[in-house]
Structure 1
Amino acid sequence: MGSVIIVSFCSALVLTVLILGEYSIAVPLDFNQSTNKTPKIVIVGAGIAGVGAAVKLLKYGFTDIQIIEASSQPGGRIRGSPFGKSVIDEGAQYIHGASMKNPIFQLAKEHGLLQQAHNSSDPEWSVFTNTQKQLDPDFAIQTWNLGRSILRRTYLRSQEKGYTQAKSLVDVFLEEIKKLATNWSGDSTNLRSQKLGMLNMMMKSQCVDNAAHDLSDVSLQEYNEYEDIEGGDRNSPRLFLKLISNLVEIIPREKLLLEKPVKQILWNGSFESEDGSLYPVRVVCEDGDHILADHVIVTVSLGYLKAKAKALFHPSLPEEKLHAIKNMGFGTTDKVYLEYEVPFWDKDIGPEYGIGLVWEDETPFYGLKPNPAEWWRRLFYFNVLQPAERYGHILLGWTSGREAEFMETLSEEELASNITRILRQFTGKPVPQPKNVFITKWFSNSYTRGSYSHISINSTGDMIDTLAEPLPQEEGDEYPSKMLQILFAGEATHRSYHSTTHGALLSGRREADRLIDHYSTSEE
């Protein structure tokens, strides 16, 4: 028995999750009682998937672990940066499913972090149009909820009509809007424009939720595969950052190597170590170091796999796995933070207050075709970070798609001047220039190449399962070496909870269970 390597550019939180989030009593495997030595585990990355895998493996007696992280800090797509008076979340911010059925919620509760979070409900917002009209709050909420109900009906209609995955979300969304619009014949031109503008704003929100360039990229089967967890969404500023920090503290310092990117994973071989032991896998790092192992759990982002899979693995991955990597959906959602000397909004506002922007000349029928030249049109909503005493006077804007990717290339001055122009155009107020601007750059990050996954019109839920299948699953003529040499985890490998932190965590635990079961069976 040799070594287990967990390859995960998003996975350096490795030693923590098991004790906190699972309530079963672990029975460590006694490798000393067998003729085999303790397997070695190398984790490449610092994300929650690798953490979940490593912690569980440690709990079950897999003690020879090494974590390799490509970037200069652990956390993967959970990361923060100093801004204003505090640290802001670049990545994960919401617990999707605020209940004990969610393993992230479990960990947050056990770490005493839930007091920093609050459930999201109907937004408390001021919605403005590009003609400087402020929409009636009740009208805005009603129209927003109408959009939500349309989205729910699109899934139900798809089941009734038997649509295939090639049917996009926007196709059925527009079918429903057309039916509703037939009842708006008595509306004024302005009212109709405002309704359609609000529904178009809803489409922008869905693009953010799915990290999509356009809802025509998202298969209707996204709603069929993705499962909600009860409890609703909980906005959790800095919760994930503190949770990661707490988990990393448990990891022995010598077990975590930062700035250690992987160049190639050689598998299905017979590589000899200094002591003469043979291993089927060799991980080659960019700095020239080689690490031998029996098993590699790969938790790199789907975006990274899209860019590097063919060069990363030797021999190459099976065609069906490469096909899944190529066709599964993966895009960019970014945040832009604006810090002001003094607020131009009312100070006495609730924790979920925001500013919505509706373009009256946009309708869902026009579509959200990517247009980087007018990137500001994709910015549809700004949260006000609360409380100001903790964060300063800060707005958080949301964007996605090609526009987000283009925004990553702009200077702070370009972002500040154009966003200020738009806010003045919509609110009619002398909005000041922000004194500081920060935009996340998930697309530019060479180890993520985007934000998170969705089921595209070219993919299916089965492809997620294909991506998650280990190599090889069993010994044979084609794979004479040991089985389960390469395993795959990460949010894009969880069929029900892809695109979420809890999906990533559960995927890591799943692969740990796979190895635990494998060695438990071999011990019998």
Structure 2
Amino acid sequence: MNSKNTLKKSPKLVVIGAGIAGVGAAGKLLTHGFTDIQIVEASSQPGGRIKSSLFGKSTVDEGAQYIHGASVKNPIFQLAKEHGLLQETQDRSDPELSVLTNMQKQMDPDVTKEVKNLSSSILRRAHLIAQQKQYTQANSLADVYLEEVKMLVAQWDGDHTDLRRQKLGLLSMLMKWQCVHHAAGSLSEVSVHEYEEYNTIEDHDRNSQGMLYCSRLFPNLLEKLLEVIPREKLLLKKPVQQILWNGSFESEDRSLYPVKVLCEDGGHILADHVILSISLGCLKANGQSLFQPRLPEQKLNAIQSMGFGTMNKIYLEFEAPFWDENTDVIGLVWEEETPLSRQEPNLAEWWKSAPVFYVFKPTERYGHLLVGTISGKEAEFIESLSLQEVASSLTCLFRQFTGRSSLPELKNVFVTKWFSNPYTRGSYSHISINSTGDMIDLLTEPLPHATEGSGSPMLQLLFAGEATHRSYHSTTHGALLSGWREAERLIDLYSTK
């Protein structure tokens, strides 16, 4: 127990979801003297969107992979450092990007860097640009991006036709890359205020595999957080069917509790407080039926309005590399594409939505591995394909871009499936054109509301998870901080100082 606090009483708590938010919340509560805690997890293992699998010569991350802002200000970095998980092997803060076109050309690295920097600057400053240039109709990142691209194109009139075409294709590729970052099908889905709300922790984003740190960084970190939680307090394969709240439910010893958690196996758990750390995708799919009584309409509206999409990874193993040993990222540009043309989902040519492939290093650990990223409807679609279909399509893709018809078939392929996973229904959140940062705060607000004279027990339902952190949504550190935040609410409620 924390030496500075003692508990007024020992409440009964249930944490739904054993991702890093739920595990973080339970761990903090246990270390502050709370003992009657039960974590229920629907799947067969803890972790949520932290998950790794064997592939090739090593282990790869299906979900969380990056420390976004690798500094002591990031709790993930700090915890990984404290537990000795930062076994640095190689890092380049500015990875070597090699861009190929479908016309078997390699783009000039200086041109690539210049256009990439211009693109990033537009997107990061989109909300400021919209204000400064009075783009009053700008609702999405795409609105600002396309207006700025039109001005760039006008400045490229003096360029050779081939170079101009390549630059436009590169801008289109960079748009797709940004869609992957937001797990969105299009930048027209992402609010122009996304980067205004999201806070970047100083220092670069760091890759937990391939270029830096030990294998299984996030799963290992989760295991460290689980060490303070007794095994019997974690129930796996325990999906929740419904949460009855604001009631008066009697236990066997005649005690009364305001919340009753009904499980799909027919069992139930009574509680004073429930911390929900399930994905926003699940709340979108089940929010109407999961709670009885229904959630307030404003909260339901926030759940449905906020952005939550799918980003999947495609892991590829080769017998031998076709890329240069100094290459860290391979970009693929379709020269006929331009960001100024409306891009609709194209499931028949889904591979065109995979803009980049990352090279795993060192080769001694991983072998010859690439991982591609894809988002939107195409990311959902590939979950329905066989691995043979994926391998065949990508073999043809790389043969086309390299001009090497003899490029051998892939040795092995693995595709993540976050959309069809019933306990995630997607990958992570963003602020959509239909939502605001205020909606994240609304989603986060505990229930019942603190209305004067209501007489209802407070903090019956608390909400955690990456989508509930206004400044760090979509990140593991945002998820962890959200779990700690909800734990602190209960610590403050029950502690005497």
Which of these residues, 178, 182, 186, is aligned with residue 214 of structure 1? 186
Structure 1 residue 28: deviation in Å?
A: 5.8
Quote the residue 1:6 is aligned against: none
Quote the residue 2:362 is aligned against: 387
Distance (whole Å) between structure 2 residues aligned to residue 161 and residue 278 of structure 1: 59
Which of these residues, 50, 71, 94, is aligned with residue 66 of structure 2? 94
The answer to whether 1:201 aligns with 2:164 is no
Distance (whole Å) between structure 2 residues aligned to residue 121 and residue 331 of structure 1: 28
Alignment of 1:90-239 (within 5 A): 90-116=62-88, 121-161=93-133, 167-237=139-209, 238-239=216-217
Quote the residue 2:445 is aligned against: 469
Distance (whole Å) between structure 2 residues aligned to residue 500 and residue 300 of structure 1: 14
Distance (whole Å) between structure 2 residues aligned to residue 502 and residue 368 of structure 1: 33
Quote the residue 1:325 is aligned against: 303
The answer to whether 1:245 aligns with 2:223 is yes
User: Is the CA contact 2:26–2:229 (under 8 Å) kept in the aligned structure 1?
Assistant: no
Structure 1 residue 250: deviation in Å?
A: 3.4
For structure 2, the 5+ residue unaligned runs are 210-215
Corresponding letter in the other structure for 1:300: I
| Aligned-partner SS, 2:147 | helix
Farther off after superposition, 200-209 or 114-123: 114-123
Change (3 A) 1:509 1:84: same
Change (3 A) 1:166 1:126: closer
Corresponding letter in the other structure for 1:127: V
Quote the residue 1:505 is aligned against: 480
Distance (whole Å) between structure 1 residues aligned to residue 397 and residue 32 of structure 2: 56
Distance (whole Å) between structure 2 residues aligned to residue 231 and residue 507 of structure 1: 22
Distance (whole Å) between structure 1 residues aligned to residue 239 and residue 42 of structure 2: 4
Distance (whole Å) between structure 1 residues aligned to residue 180 and residue 124 of structure 2: 17
Distance (whole Å) between structure 1 residues aligned to residue 111 and residue 379 of structure 2: 29
Distance (whole Å) between structure 2 residues aligned to residue 149 and residue 459 of structure 1: 23
- Could you state the TM-score of these two structures normalised by the residue count of structure 2? 0.95
Which aligned runs of 4 or more in structure 1 are off by greater than 6 angstroms? Answer: none
| Aligned-partner SS, 2:484 | helix
Quote the residue 1:290 is aligned against: 268
Quote the residue 2:318 is aligned against: 340
Structure 1 residue 149: deviation in Å?
A: 2.1
Which of these residues, 10, 15, 24, is aligned with residue 52 of structure 1? 24
Deviations 1:173-211 (A, max 9, x none): 011111111111111211111111111111011101111
Distance (whole Å) between structure 1 residues aligned to residue 225 and residue 89 of structure 2: 19
Distance (whole Å) between structure 2 residues aligned to residue 65 and residue 439 of structure 1: 36
The answer to whether 1:265 aligns with 2:243 is yes
Deviations 1:48-99 (A, max 9, x none): 1112211211121111111111101111001011111111100111111111
Corresponding letter in the other structure for 1:382: F
User: Is the CA contact 1:69–1:261 (under 8 Å) kept in the aligned structure 2?
Assistant: yes
Which of these residues, 53, 56, 76, is aligned with residue 48 of structure 2? 76
Distance (whole Å) between structure 1 residues aligned to residue 455 and residue 421 of structure 2: 37
Deviations 1:115-144 (A, max 9, x none): 247655333132110111111222222221
Distance (whole Å) between structure 2 residues aligned to residue 319 and residue 181 of structure 1: 46
Structure 1 residue 158: deviation in Å?
A: 2.0
User: Is the CA contact 1:118–1:236 (under 8 Å) kept in the aligned structure 2?
Assistant: no
User: Is the CA contact 1:268–1:480 (under 8 Å) kept in the aligned structure 2?
Assistant: no
Distance (whole Å) between structure 2 residues aligned to residue 219 and residue 418 of structure 1: 33
User: Is the CA contact 1:132–1:425 (under 8 Å) kept in the aligned structure 2?
Assistant: yes
Which of these residues, 467, 470, 480, is aligned with residue 495 of structure 1? 470
Corresponding letter in the other structure for 2:149: I
Identity of aligned residues (%): 66
Structure 1 residue 279: deviation in Å?
A: 0.1
Which of these residues, 253, 256, 259, is aligned with residue 278 of structure 1? 256
Corresponding letter in the other structure for 1:281: V
| Aligned-partner SS, 2:143 | helix
Distance (whole Å) between structure 1 residues aligned to residue 85 and residue 303 of structure 2: 35
| Aligned-partner SS, 1:175 | helix
| Aligned-partner SS, 1:115 | coil
| Aligned-partner SS, 2:196 | helix
User: Is the CA contact 1:339–1:437 (under 8 Å) kept in the aligned structure 2?
Assistant: yes
Change (3 A) 1:515 1:118: farther
Structure 1 residue 165: deviation in Å?
A: 9.4
Quote the residue 1:431 is aligned against: 407
Distance (whole Å) between structure 2 residues aligned to residue 82 and residue 164 of structure 1: 50
Structure 1 residue 453: deviation in Å?
A: 0.5
Distance (whole Å) between structure 1 residues aligned to residue 98 and residue 480 of structure 2: 36
| Aligned-partner SS, 1:335 | strand
Structure 1 residue 349: deviation in Å?
A: 2.9
User: Is the CA contact 2:138–2:144 (under 8 Å) kept in the aligned structure 1?
Assistant: no
Quote the residue 1:39 is aligned against: 11
Corresponding letter in the other structure for 2:450: E
Which of these residues, 487, 491, 494, is aligned with residue 516 of structure 1? 491
Distance (whole Å) between structure 1 residues aligned to residue 228 and residue 464 of structure 2: 22
Distance (whole Å) between structure 1 residues aligned to residue 257 and residue 383 of structure 2: 42
User: Is the CA contact 1:122–1:141 (under 8 Å) kept in the aligned structure 2?
Assistant: no
Farther off after superposition, 356-365 or 49-58: 49-58
Which of these residues, 271, 274, 280, is aligned with residue 302 of structure 1? 280
Corresponding letter in the other structure for 1:140: T
Corresponding letter in the other structure for 1:408: E
Distance (whole Å) between structure 2 residues aligned to residue 165 and residue 439 of structure 1: 39
Alignment of 1:2-21 (within 5 A): none
Distance (whole Å) between structure 2 residues aligned to residue 233 and residue 315 of structure 1: 42
User: Is the CA contact 1:267–1:282 (under 8 Å) kept in the aligned structure 2?
Assistant: yes
Change (3 A) 1:114 1:162: farther
Corresponding letter in the other structure for 1:208: V
Deviations 1:282-307 (A, max 9, x none): 00011011000011111111100000
| Aligned-partner SS, 1:114 | coil
Structure 1 residue 257: deviation in Å?
A: 1.1
Distance (whole Å) between structure 1 residues aligned to residue 218 and residue 460 of structure 2: 31
Distance (whole Å) between structure 1 residues aligned to residue 142 and residue 92 of structure 2: 25
Corresponding letter in the other structure for 2:466: E
Deviations 1:441-463 (A, max 9, x none): 01011011000001111111110
| Aligned-partner SS, 2:87 | helix
Distance (whole Å) between structure 1 residues aligned to residue 134 and residue 306 of structure 2: 21
Distance (whole Å) between structure 2 residues aligned to residue 442 and residue 164 of structure 1: 36
Corresponding letter in the other structure for 1:390: R
Corresponding letter in the other structure for 1:448: T
Structure 1 residue 432: deviation in Å?
A: 1.5
Distance (whole Å) between structure 2 residues aligned to residue 120 and residue 92 of structure 1: 20
Distance (whole Å) between structure 1 residues aligned to residue 442 and residue 137 of structure 2: 17
User: Is the CA contact 2:2–2:33 (under 8 Å) kept in the aligned structure 1?
Assistant: no
User: Is the CA contact 1:56–1:509 (under 8 Å) kept in the aligned structure 2?
Assistant: yes
Structure 1 residue 475: deviation in Å?
A: 5.7
- Could you state the TM-score of these two structures normalised by the residue count of structure 1? 0.90
Quote the residue 2:212 is aligned against: none
Distance (whole Å) between structure 1 residues aligned to residue 134 and residue 193 of structure 2: 11
Distance (whole Å) between structure 2 residues aligned to residue 117 and residue 380 of structure 1: 27
| Aligned-partner SS, 1:228 | coil
Corresponding letter in the other structure for 1:377: K
Quote the residue 1:441 is aligned against: 417
